[in-house]
Amino acid sequence: MNFLQITQQYGDAMLGGLFVTLKLSFIVWASGIVIGSALGALGASFREIVGGPSKVVSVILAGMPALVFLFWMHYPLQGYLQIVINPFITGALTLSIINIFMVADLVRGAITDFPRQYIDAAKVSGMSHSDIFVRIQVPLLMRQIIPGLLLIQITVFQMTIFASMISVDEIFRVAQRVNSIIYKPVEIYTLLALFFIAVCVPLNLFAHWLRVRFTRDYSER
């Protein structure tokens, strides 16, 4: 079977897996960006109460492979709590936690490193605190954060294939199932690779363009 025949015969199944992958990704992206940004902002404002513990959790997660964390959430933790949770929910929760703390680290670092002289100059010019925040801090912070934020979301998107290991019917698991029926690994996994390339390469290029175009060097020279 060639690419076209595989697509025609198993297209519905692959689209179903694609829908699950995108649904999982959107949940992880939304929770990570919203909660992670809030946690990062709180961590920069309350370093001892929020920032310190958040950093500790980030270091622990960074030292643990995502697949190990996923399996721990799916098997030992649920066994200990004597509960059974839908694998999709477990996958979304696990990847969201990883995304939240990665985003929090990025946001907290950007806010902490924000140059004080910009704020002092604005105060001397008579700007109010709200004007300083809206017109100076937010635009400059967004320029610093967005490229890195996109790269984090690409990384998390690629992690969604790990959900197949706990029986989530995302696109990688569907591809494996189709391959077990017709055994065309070259064609099937090439199609899978093309899908990830089609999503990730434009995002990578966009993140690179944003970094080159908008990121500023705040260091004094």
Task: Tell me: pLDDT of 114 over 80.
Answer: yes
Say how far apart CA 15 and CA 102 lie, in whole Å: 30
**Does position 129 have pLDDT exceeding 90, yes or no?**
no
Tokens read off for 76: 């030992």
Give me the mean pLDDT over the 51-59 stretch. 94
* Residue scoring higher pLDDT (65 or 216): 65
**112/166 Cα distance (integer angstroms):** 38
pLDDT > 70 fraction of the chain, expressed in percent and rounded: 95
| Per-residue pLDDT tens digits for 58-103 | 999 999 999 999 999 999 999 999 999 999 999 999 999 999 999 9
The confidence score (pLDDT) of residue 165 equals 92
The DSSP output letter for 64 is S
Report the predicted TM-score, pTM, of the whole model to 2 decimal places.
Answer: 0.87
Task: For tokens 């998390």, name the residue.
Answer: 156
Give the pLDDT score at 214. 66
At 71 the pLDDT is: 95
Looking at the predicted structure, is the pLDDT value of residue 218 above 60? no
pLDDT (0 to 100) of residue 34: 96
CATH, domain range 3-214: 1.10.3720.10
Q: How far is CA 48 from the centre of its chain?
A: 26
Question: CA nearest 142: which of 32, 37, 30?
Answer: 37
Asked if residue 217 has pLDDT above 60, the reply is: no
- Quote the pLDDT of residue 221: 41
Separation between Cα atoms, residue 83 and residue 101, nearest integer Å = 25
Exposure pattern of 15-33 as b/e (b: 16+ CB <10 Å)?
A: eebeebbeebbebbbebbb
Please, what is the average pLDDT of the chain? 88
Q: Is the pLDDT of residue 211 over 80?
A: no
Q: Which two three-digit tokens encode residue 95?
A: 């990847």
Going from N- to C-terminal start, the domains of the chain cover: 3-214
Local confidence band at 220 (pLDDT 50, 70, 90 cut-offs): very low
pLDDT tens-digit map of 159-205: 999 999 998 999 999 999 999 998 888 888 888 888 889 888 888 88
Burial 82-119 (b: 16+ CB within 10 A, else e): eeeeebbebbbbbbbbbbbbbbbbbbbbbbeebeeeeb
Looking up tokens 């910009």 gives 118
Q: Which of 18-22, 110-114, 186-190, 207-211 has the lowest mean pLDDT?
A: 207-211
